[in-house]
Structure 1
Amino acid sequence: MIRLDNISKHNGQRLIFIEASAALQKGEKIGLVGPNGAGKTTLFRMITGQEEPDEGQILVDRGVSIGFFSQDVGEMEGRSAVAEVMNGAGAVAELAAELTILEADMADPEKFDRLEEIIERFGEVQARFEELGGYGLEGRAREVLDGLGFSQEMMDGDVGRLSGGWKMRVALGRILLMRPDVMLLDEPSNHLDLESLIWLEQFLSGYDGALLMTSHDRAFMNRIINKVIEIDGGNLTSYSGDYEFYEQQRAQNEKQQQAQFERQQAMLAKEVNFIQRFKARASHAAQVQSRVKKLEKIDRVEPPKRRQTLSFDLPTAPRSGDVVANLRSVDKNYGSRVIYQGLDLLIRRQERCCILGVNGAGKSTLLKLVTGTTEPDSGSVTLGGSVKMGYFAQHAMDVLDGDRTVFETLNDAFPLASQGSLRALAGGFGFSGDEIDKTCRVLSGGEKARLVMALMLYDPPNFLVLDEPTNHLDIATKEMLIGALAQYEGTMLFVSHDRHFLGALSNRVLELTPEGIHQYGGGYTEYVARTGREAPGLHA
Structure 2
Amino acid sequence: MIRLENISKQNGKQIVFIEASAALQKGEKIGLVGPNGAGKTTLFRLITGEEAPDEGQVSIDRGITIGYFSQDVGEMAGMSVVSAVMDGAGPVSSVAAELAALEAAMADPDRADEMEEIVLRYGEVQGRFEELDGYALDGRAREVLDGLGFSPAMVEGDVGALSGGWKMRVALARILLMAPDAMLLDEPSNHLDIESLIWLEEFLKGYEGALLMTSHDRSFMNRIVGKIVEIDGGSLTTYSGDYEFYQQQRALSEKQQQAQFERQQAMLAKEIAFIERFKARASHAAQVQSRVKKLDKIERVEPPKRRQTVKFEFQPAPRSGDDVAGLKGVAKRYGEKVIYDGFDFQIRRRERWCVMGVNGAGKSTLLKLVTGTSEPDSGIVTLGAGVKLGYFAQHSMELLDGERTVFETLEDAFPQANQGSLRALAGCFGFSGDDVEKRCRVLSGGEKARLVMALMLYDPPNFLVLDEPTNHLDIATKEMLIEALAAFEGTMLFVSHDRHFLAALSNRVLELTPEGVHAYGGGYTEYVARTGQEAPGLRH
Provide the rounded CA distance (Å) in 2 between the counterparts of 1:322 and 1:35.
Answer: 41
Tell me if the contact between 1:105 and 1:118 (Cα under 8 Å) persists in the aligned partners: no
Q: CA deviation at 1:116?
A: 9.8
Q: Quick one: which amino acid aligns to residue 509 of structure 1?
A: V
Mapped partners of 2:121, 2:420: distance in 1: 77
Query: Partner of 1:442 in structure 2?
Result: 442
Match of 2:340 in 1: 340
Q: Residue 4 of structure 1 contacts residue 21 of structure 1 at CA under 8 Å; is this kept in 2?
A: yes
Question: 2:167 maps to which residue?
Answer: 167
Say whether 1:388 aligns with 2:383.
Answer: no
Is the Cα contact below 8 Å between 1:7 and 1:55 reproduced in 2? yes
> Does residue 378 of structure 1 match 2:378?
yes
Give deviations 1:297-352, integer Å, cap 9, x for gaps.
21111110000001001111111111011111111111111100110001101100
Distance 1:448 1:323 in 2: 32
Aligned positions of 1:180-219 closer than 5 A? 180-219=180-219
Could you tell me which amino acid in structure 2 is paired with residue 158 of structure 1? D
Q: Secondary structure at the match of 2:402?
A: coil
- 1:5-84 equivalences under 5 Å are 5-84=5-84
In 2: Cα distance, 1:440 partner to 1:182 partner: 37
Residue 111 (structure 1) shift? 5.0
Partner of 1:308: 308
- Greater displacement, 264-273 / 529-538: 264-273
Letter in 2 for 1:276: E
Partner Cα distance (2:379, 2:114) in 1: 70
AA partner of residue 37 (structure 1): G
Measured after TM superposition, the shift of residue 490 of structure 1 is: 0.7
CA distance in 2, matches of 1:112, 1:511: 59
Structure 2 match to 1:490: 490
Aligned positions of 1:92-111 closer than 5 A: 92-101=92-101
Q: Which amino acid aligns with 2:456?
A: M
Who is 1:231 aligned against? 231
Pairwise CA distance, 1:100: 3.8
The answer to whether the 8 Å contact 2:106/2:119 transfers is no
| 1:146 is aligned to 2:149 | no
Q: Aligned equivalents of 1:211 and 1:290: distance in 2?
A: 55
**1:102 Cα shift?**
5.5
* Equivalent residue number for residue 428 of structure 1: 428
**Offset of 1:295 from its aligned partner?**
1.5
Equivalent residue number for residue 366 of structure 1: 366
- Alignment correspondent of 1:264: 264
Q: Check whether the contact 1:106–1:118 (CA below 8 A) recurs between aligned residues.
A: no
Report the more deviating stretch, 276-285 or 289-298.
276-285
SS at match of 2:56: strand
Shift, 1:110, TM fit: 5.4
- CA–CA distance in structure 1, aligned partners of residues 105 and 326 of structure 2: 68
**Counterpart of 2:471?**
471
Q: Deviations over 1:264-283 (max 9, x none)?
A: 11111222222222333333
Structure 1 alignment gaps of length 5 or more: none
Contact 2:102–2:118 (Cα < 8 Å) also in 1: no
Q: Report the Cα distance in structure 1 between the residues aligned to 2:432 and 2:489, rounded to whole angstroms.
A: 28
Where 2:536 maps in the other structure, the secondary structure is coil
Contact 2:405 2:439 in 1 (8 A): yes
User: Residues 389, 103 of structure 1: CA spacing in aligned structure 2 closer, same or farther, 3 A cutoff?
Assistant: closer
**Cα distance in structure 2, aligned partners of 1:161 and 1:99:** 26
CA–CA separation in structure 1 for the residues paired with 2:512 and 2:498: 18
For 2:508 and 2:116, the matched residues in 1 are separated by 74
State whether residues 397 and 452 of structure 2, in contact with CA within 8 Å, keep that contact through their aligned partners in structure 1. yes
Q: Which residue of 2 aligns with 1:410?
A: 410
Letter in 1 for 2:68: F
Distance in 2 between the 1:391 and 1:459 partners? 13
Question: Is 2:520 the partner of 1:520?
Answer: yes
Distance in 1 between residues matched to 2:489 and 2:136, nearest whole Å: 55
CA contact (8 A) 1:105 1:111 kept: no
Aligned twin of 2:249: 249
- Equivalent residue, structure 1, for 2:287: 287
Partner of 1:325: 325
Q: C-alpha distance in 1, partners of 2:119/2:98?
A: 16
Contact 1:261 1:301 in 2 (8 A): yes
Quote the RMSD (CA, aligned, Å). Answer: 1.6
Q: Is the CA contact (8 Å cut-off) linking 1:469 and 1:496 kept in structure 2?
A: yes
Structure 1 CA distance for aligned equivalents of residues 101 and 490 of structure 2: 65
Structure 1 position 115, deviation (Å): 7.3
* Partner SS for 2:394: coil
TM-score, L = length of structure 1: 0.97
- Kindly state the Cα deviation for residue 98 of structure 1 after the two structures are TM-superposed: 3.5
SS of residue paired to 1:133: coil
Q: 1 CA distance for matches of 2:250 and 2:507?
A: 32
Whether 1:354 aligns to 2:354 is yes
The Cα shift of 1:97 comes to 2.5
Quick one: distance in 2 between partners of 1:118 and 1:396?
Answer: 56
Q: CA deviation at 1:112?
A: 6.8
User: Displacement, 1:127?
Assistant: 4.2
Q: Please tell me the residue identity of whatever aligns with 2:507.
A: N
Superposed displacement of residue 96, structure 1:
1.8
Partner Cα distance (1:99, 1:502) in 2: 48
Alpha-carbon shift at residue 437 of structure 1 (Å)? 0.8
Residue identity opposite 1:47 in structure 2: I
Q: Quick one: which amino acid aligns to residue 220 of structure 1?
A: F
Residues 456/105 of structure 1: CA separation in 2 closer, same or farther (3 Å cut): closer
Provide closer, same or farther for how the CA distance between residues 105 and 366 of structure 1 changes in structure 2, counting only shifts above 3 A: closer
Give the distance between the partners of 1:269 and 1:275, measured in 2 at CA.
Answer: 10
Shift of 1:94: 2.2
The amino acid that maps onto 2:276 is Q
Deviation at 1:513? 1.4
Aligned partners of 1:128, 1:278: CA distance in 2, in Å? 88
Structure 1 range deviating more: 110-119 or 279-288: 110-119
Q: 1:486 to 1:112 in 2, by over 3 A?
A: closer
Shift of 1:539: 2.6
Q: Distance in 2 between matches of 1:240 and 1:303?
A: 24
Q: Which moved more, 1:178-187 or 1:275-284?
A: 275-284
2:317–2:490 contact (8 Å) kept in structure 1: yes
Secondary structure of residue in 1 paired with 2:315: coil
Return the offset for 1:233: 0.6
Conserved 8 A contact 1:331-1:339: yes
Counterpart of 2:476, as a letter, is A
Tell me by how many angstroms 1:503 deviates: 0.4
Secondary structure, counterpart of 2:538 in structure 1: coil
Cross-structure match for 1:273: 273
Deviation at 1:86, TM superposition (A): 0.3
Aligned to 1:157: 157
Deviation at 1:172, TM superposition (A): 0.4
Q: Residues of 2 paired with 1:536 and 1:491: CA distance?
A: 24
Q: What is the alpha-carbon distance in structure 2 between the residues aligned to residue 71 and residue 165 of structure 1?
A: 10
Structure 1 residue 117: Cα displacement: 7.5
The answer to whether the 8 Å contact 2:46/2:52 transfers is: yes
Structure 2 unmatched ranges of 5 or more:
none
Alpha-carbon distance between aligned partners in 2 of 1:112 and 1:95, rounded to the nearest angstrom: 19
Q: Percent identity?
A: 77
Aligned amino acid, residue 288 of structure 2: V
The number of residues matched between the two structures is 537
* Matched position secondary structure for 1:304: coil
Inter-partner Cα distance in structure 1 for 2:153 and 2:229: 40
Shift in Å at residue 287 of structure 1?
A: 2.4
